[in-house]
């Protein structure tokens, strides 16, 4: 029987699904080419042909698991944007979901937290875009006291650190309130109490206008670019 692209795709999906289950239930050590091949009903050489080696298989599995998670997050952000969901509540819900994902998928989290892997992961990049969308909604609401990019970096770094700390601690010794405490600390750094209130004040207003600038069709493209440049200077100076 011919080895068609469809058959190869079916085999690849089956192998990734089996390996994802083994990774979730037993950890990376359980994802052996022989064990995965037997569970997936394929010959071991097929894994080498499709993924190169075990490391390639693990990367494919991590990418698959994270991509599924990110697609769910993206759908929630779209729904929040279309509805009346408070952007701050949506940001906090995203934080909680990401921490829960990391704790539920430690092997995947560790694989994609490796800087050498993360920068070339499409799913990780998609996840960052979801966070950027959430932060952008907060900026539009006038509740961001720092620039969007800085806020994204702070939130991402803090979330990664929380999960890494919890995963490095025995489950029975973990601080159940750590994630909430860190989020509150992050919120004090990047969020204002209310639109236009001190101490966010002018900076929060500048950030909100910066988020809105690309939509100001009453201005020319050159004028929007100039306005954006001015606002960036205001934000960076505060």
Three-class DSSP labels, 189-227: HHECCCCCCCCCHHHHHHHHHHHHHHHCCCCCHHHHHHH
CA–CA gap between residue 125 and residue 66 (Å, rounded): 10
C-alpha distances in Å from residue 53, one per residue of 31, 33, 34, 45, 213: 11, 8, 12, 10, 48
Half-sphere exposure of residue 117: CA atoms within 13 angstroms, side-chain side: 18
CA–CA gap between residue 16 and residue 98 (Å, rounded): 22
Do 91 and 14 fall into the same domain?
no
Provide the percentage of residues in the chain whose pLDDT is more than 90: 36
Is the pLDDT assigned to residue 75 strictly greater than 90? no
Please report which confidence band the pLDDT of residue 32 belongs to, taking 50, 70 and 90 as the band edges: confident
Residue where a domain terminates, one of 52, 74, 93? 52
For residue 57, being part of any structural domain is answered with: no
Unique residue bearing structure tokens 């803090």: 158
Tell me how crowded residue 233 is: count the other CB atoms within 10 A of its CB. Answer: 11
First to last CA, the chain: 67
What is the structure's pLDDT at 85?
A: 85
Do 186 and 100 fall into the same domain?
yes
CA–CA gap between residue 3 and residue 5 (Å, rounded): 7
**3-state class of 121 per DSSP?**
coil
Total domains, the chain: 2
Helix (H) or strand (E) holding 22: helix 5-26
Do 119 and 222 fall into the same domain?
yes
Do 178 and 90 fall into the same domain?
yes
Please report which confidence band the pLDDT of residue 129 belongs to, taking 50, 70 and 90 as the band edges: very high
Tokens of 144: 């961001």
The reported pTM is: 0.77
What is the structure's pLDDT at 1?
A: 40
Most confident of 8-22, 132-146, 173-187: 173-187
- Residue that wins the pLDDT comparison between 213 and 2: 213
Do 127 and 16 fall into the same domain?
no
Which one-letter DSSP state was computed for residue 144?
Answer: B
Do 146 and 174 fall into the same domain?
yes
- Residue that wins the pLDDT comparison between 161 and 110: 161
Is the pLDDT assigned to residue 196 strictly greater than 90? no
Most confident of 28-37, 131-140, 192-201: 131-140
Is the pLDDT assigned to residue 198 strictly greater than 50? no
Do 85 and 170 fall into the same domain?
yes
Report the pLDDT averaged over residues 153-166: 96
Is the pLDDT assigned to residue 79 strictly greater than 60? yes
Where do the H-state alpha helices sit in 41-147? 44-51, 54-82, 87-104, 106-113, 115-118, 122-140
Unique residue bearing structure tokens 């490391």: 55
Which residues form the domain of 142?
62-237
What is the structure's pLDDT at 194?
A: 63
Report the pLDDT averaged over residues 93-103: 94
Do 136 and 47 fall into the same domain?
no
Report the pLDDT averaged over residues 57-64: 88
Provide the percentage of residues in the chain whose pLDDT is more than 70: 92
């Amino acid at each position: 029987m011919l080895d068609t692209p469809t058959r190869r795709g079916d085999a690849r999906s089956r192998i990734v699904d089996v390996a994802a289950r083994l990774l979730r239930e037993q950890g990376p050590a359980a994802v052996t080419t022989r064990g995965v091949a037997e569970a997936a009903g394929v010959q071991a050489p097929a894994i080498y042909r499709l993924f190169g080696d075990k490391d390639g298989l693990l990367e494919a599995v991590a990418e698959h698991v994270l991509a599924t998670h990110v697609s769910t997050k993206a759908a929630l952000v779209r729904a929040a944007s279309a509805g009346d969901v408070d952007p701050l509540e949506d940001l906090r819900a995203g934080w909680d979901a990401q921490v829960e994902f990391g704790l539920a998928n430690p092997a995947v989290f560790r694989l994609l937290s490796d800087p050498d892997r993360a920068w070339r992961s499409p799913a990780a990049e998609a996840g960052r875009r979801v966070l950027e969308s959430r932060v952008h909604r907060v900026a539009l609401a006038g509740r961001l006291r720092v620039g969007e990019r800085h806020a994204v970096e702070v939130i991402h770094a803090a979330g990664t650190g929380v999960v890494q700390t919890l995963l490095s601690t025995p489950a029975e010794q973990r601080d159940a309130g750590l994630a909430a405490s860190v989020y509150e600390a992050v919120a004090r750094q990047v969020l204002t109490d209310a639109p236009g209130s001190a101490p966010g004040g002018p900076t929060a207003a500048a950030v909100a206008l910066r988020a809105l600038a690309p939509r100001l069709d009453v201005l020319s493209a050159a004028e929007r670019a100039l306005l954006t440049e001015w606002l960036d200077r205001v934000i960076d100076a505060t």
